[in-house]
Every structure is written in C-alpha cells, then in structure tokens.
C-alpha cells in the first residue's frame, strides 16, 4: 500500500508530460523540425506592448517651410521606422561577477544566581541546598559560513528582427527569432524589446543594451540537450523529496 501513492504520482506526472513525450517520440530517428517562418504577431503568446508616454503635443505647420517642427531628420533614410521593417539586433554580452563572503560568529555566556539571605528562611532550607548558588547556566554558540560566486558569460550574436509595433511616442517594438541546426541539434535564438529610432545606427543595427524591456533567450533541443537535462522523474523527486 505504501507504493500506491508513488505509482499514482508517477502516472499523474506521466499524463502531465504526455504532450512533450509524444513530441519527442515523433522525432525519433530524425533531427528536430524547425519552426516555419511566420508572422510574430500571429503567435498565440504575442501581446502588444503598452508603455508610459508623454502627452501628445501638436506641431504647428509653417507656410513656405521645408522643415516640420518635431521631425527627427531633414532627409528620410533607410533605417527601420514602420511596422514590417527589418532591423538587425547586435547581442554582445560579456558579464563577469566574483563575490566572496566569509562569516564567523562566536558567542559565550554564563549566568549564576543565588539567595544567601531570604528573610531568615535560609535556616530551614535543607543543608543539601546551597542558597548562594541556586541557579548556574552557561551557553556557547559558534557559526562559520563561507560562500563564493564566480560567473563568466559571453554571448556574441547578430540576428535580424521585424518591427511589430510603432508606439505613439515613436519607439519601435522589435521581435527577432532565428533557428539553425547543426548535427541534429537545433538552436533557437529569440530577442524582443523596445528601441528608440535615434539609437538605430546608419547600417540599420541596434545593440541589445539600447533595448528597453529586452528579453533574450538562447537555447535549443535535440539529443545532446536531452542528455544534459535530468529526467522528469528525477526532477519531481528533487522537488517533492523532504530529505
């Protein structure tokens, strides 16, 4: 009977992960399939962004003038500015962190209490009781902790994206995705964020550190990725096991 809850738990977990298991079984004997190229706005997970913006200010028009107040440039260039335009996102991350913490705490305490004289009642107390040292206590505590974090990350990528939305203040919402396969291992790169037209270079590129609300993911799937991922049963035991 003790094994019945474990069996039920395993069956329930198998049902929950059934869709992913069936998908992996369908790829046995052939490499993973790439996602077809499609409109990012048609993705069920796609949601238009709303950002805080200043109040609109009408720009007055002047007669016999080529320059319009509020314009960003006198001549129109070929940089991305409208929905559907292509822009190249440059991802160049080189982060490192080194943090070391050492903690040492030691505490020692002792307490002694007695009543040598108590309104003359000490004479009727048995001799085995020493009124001068009724209570005596001592305690000691020692704690030593050590921790270290050392991280080095470097990612350099170039990926072309599409302007999916132009916000009322002129900022551009960009969504970029790219997939490539090497030896039956599929790599997936996705970048989304909001950029200012002024931050787009003359070659129609923008760096990731110029993107607001940037979301960058780089992963993949395939045989090598599966070998590096713990089995779902082991993952459940790691979460549910109390010891």
Backbone angles phi, psi at 139, to 5 degrees: -150, 155
Q: Tell me: the pLDDT tens digits for 123-169?
A: 777 777 777 777 778 888 887 888 887 878 787 889 999 999 999 99
Q: Backbone phi, then psi, for 58, in 5-degree steps?
A: -65, 140
pLDDT score at 175: 92
Give the domain extent around 130: 99-148
Q: How far apart are CA 178 and CA 228, in angstroms?
A: 22
Q: What is the pLDDT averaged over residues 60-82?
A: 69
Q: Establish if 76 belongs to a structural domain.
A: no
Q: Is residue 125 part of a domain?
A: yes
> In terms of Cα–Cα distance, which of 6, 27, 2 is closest to 226?
27
> CA-based angle 26:27:29, to the nearest 5?
115
Q: Is residue 158 part of a domain?
A: no
Tokens of 126: 């048995």
Residue 163 is assigned to a structural domain of this protein:
no
* pLDDT above 60 (res 72): no
Beta bridge partners of 93: 155
> Does any domain span residue 240?
no
Asked, for residue 129, whether it belongs to a domain, the answer is yes
- Does 22 fall in a domain? no
3-state secondary structure string, the chain? CCHHHHHHHHHHHHHHCHHHHHHHHCCCCCCCCCCCCCCHHHCCCCCCCCCCCCCCCCCCCCCCCCCCCCCCCCCCCCCCCCCCCEEEEEEEEEEEEEEEEEEEEEEEEEEEECCCCCCCHHHCCCCCCCHHHCEEEEEEEEEEEEEEEEEEEEEEEEEEEEEEEECCCCCEEEEEEEEEEECCEEEEEEEEEEECHHHCCCCCEEEHHHCEEEEEEEEEEEHHHHHHCCCHHHHHHHHHCCC
Q: Please check whether residue 210 lies inside any domain of the structure.
A: no
The per-residue pLDDT for 87 is 94
- Dmax (CA) of the chain: 117
Q: How many domains does the chain have?
A: 1
Binned at pLDDT 50, 70 and 90, residue 16 comes out as very low
pLDDT surpassing 90 at residue 194: yes
Minimum mean pLDDT range among 3-12, 56-65, 197-206 = 3-12
Handedness of CA 157, 161, 166, 170 (dihedral sign): positive
pLDDT of 41 > 80? The answer is yes
């Amino acid at each position: 009977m003790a094994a019945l809850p474990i069996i039920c738990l395993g069956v329930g977990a198998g049902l929950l992960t059934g869709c992913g298991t069936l998908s992996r079984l369908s790829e046995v004997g052939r490499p993973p399939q790439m996602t077809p190229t499609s409109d990012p706005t048609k993705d069920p997970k796609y949601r238009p962004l709303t950002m805080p913006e200043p109040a609109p200010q009408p720009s007055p028009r002047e007669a016999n003038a080529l320059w319009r107040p509020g314009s960003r440039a006198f001549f129109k260039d070929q940089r991305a500015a409208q929905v559907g335009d292509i822009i190249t996102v440059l991802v160049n991350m080189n982060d490192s962190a080194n943090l070391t913490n050492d903690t040492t705490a030691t505490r020692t305490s002792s307490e002694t209490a007695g009543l040598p004289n108590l309104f003359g009642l000490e004479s009727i107390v048995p001799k085995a009781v020493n009124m001068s040292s009724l209570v005596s206590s001592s305690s000691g505590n020692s704690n030593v902790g050590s921790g270290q974090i050392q991280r080095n990350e470097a990612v350099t990528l170039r990926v072309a994206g599409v302007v999916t939305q132009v916000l009322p203040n002129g900022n551009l919402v960009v969504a970029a995705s790219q997939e490539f396969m090497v030896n039956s291992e599929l790599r997936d790169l996705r970048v989304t964020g909001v950029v200012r037209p002024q931050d787009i270079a003359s070659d129609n590129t923008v760096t990731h550190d110029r993107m607001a609300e940037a979301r960058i993911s780089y992963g993949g799937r395939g045989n090598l990725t599966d070998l590096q991922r713990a089995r779902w049963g082991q993952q459940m035991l790691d979460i549910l096991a109390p010891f």
